[in-house]
Amino acid sequence: MKEYKYVSVQNVIVVNKLQSDDECIKNYFDVINEESVDGWEFVGIAPINVIQKKSSKNQKSLNTFIFAREIK
């Protein structure tokens, strides 16, 4: 049996003129590497849109990184 955890990461990356595309993408891999400890294995990414109930103008787009590991 497995257990799962998730980490939410902003879907949109804002860069400055000095950053390359590779540097921005590296930030995603840094999150994966940081979370892949203690037996946690990266499973995939699920996009999530969060909308406040009273206003559709307050929408956030997130990527949810999913990790799994065997229950000990």
pLDDT score of 40: 96
- For the chain, which residues score pLDDT lower than 50? none
Q: What is the pLDDT of residue 13?
A: 67
Please give the pLDDT value at position 3: 97
Q: Which residues contact 1 (CB under 8 A, 6 or more apart)?
A: 70, 71
User: Minimal CA–CA distance to 12: which of 55, 67, 59, 66?
Assistant: 59
